[in-house]
Amino acid sequence: MYKVSTNALLREYADSLKKRRKQKSLKATGTLAASSTSGTEAPESSPPVKKSAMAELFGTLFKTQVGHKPTLQLVKEEVTSYKAVNCIPLDSDPLLWWKTNEPFFPLTSKLARHYLAIPATSVPSERVFSTAGDIVTASRSALSADNVDKLIFLAKNMKIE
C-alpha cells in the first residue's frame, strides 16, 4: 500500500505554487522567453517573501489581521465593562438581557448562553439516589455511611471496560 505523509504533500504543493508564481512573475516581466532560451535565470531585484506552507495553502481562506488586541486583553476589557453595567431587576429575564447585550459582550455572552441554558431538572440527583438504592440492599444494610459514599462515587465515576 502506498502511503504519503501530510508534510510531503504540503511541501510538494508549496513547491508547485512557487514554480507557478515564478513563471507568472517571469511572464509579467517578459523574461520567460529569454530565460527559457538561454537556460539561465533572470536576476531578481529582491528575494520574495518566504511564507510557510500553511500560509501558502490557507492564506486566502483564513486571513489574519495584524494589529488586533490579544484575546486575553479583549476578555479583560469585556469583563471590566460588564462589571460596570448596572444589575438587572430580579423579576427580569437574564436570557433576554444577554440576547439584547450580546453585541456589547460577545465573549462573555457565549459563557452565559452555555451556563444559563442548563435545564433545571432533578434527573442527576435521582440517578444518584437510584445508584444508592442499588448499592444499599437488605443484605448490605450494615455498610457505614463512609463506605456507601465511596461505593456510590466509584459506581458513578468508574468506567469498567
Closest listed residue to residue 100, CA positions, set 115, 84, 90, 88: 88
> How large is the average pLDDT for residues 46-63?
69
Max CA-CA distance within the chain?
A: 98
- pLDDT given for residue 29 in this prediction: 64
Cell 444577554 belongs to 98
Is 7 a residue whose pLDDT tops 70? no
In terms of C-beta density within 10 A (0-12 exposed, 13-18 middle, 19 or more buried), how is residue 130 classed? exposed
Read off the C-alpha cell for 7. 508534510
Task: Give, in order, the Cα–Cα distances in Å from 36 to each of 18, 41, 47, 69.
Answer: 17, 8, 20, 48
Q: What's the whole-model pTM score?
A: 0.36
124: amino acid identity, one letter: P
Q: Which residue has the higher pLDDT, 46 or 99?
A: 99
> How large is the average pLDDT for residues 7-23?
69
Q: pLDDT digits over 92-143, tens only?
A: 988 899 999 999 998 888 888 888 877 677 777 787 778 888 878 777 778 8
Residue burial 133-154, b: 16+ Cβ < 10 Å; e: rest: eebbeeeeeeeeeeeeeebbee
Q: Which residue has the higher pLDDT, 27 or 146?
A: 146
- pLDDT given for residue 140 in this prediction: 79
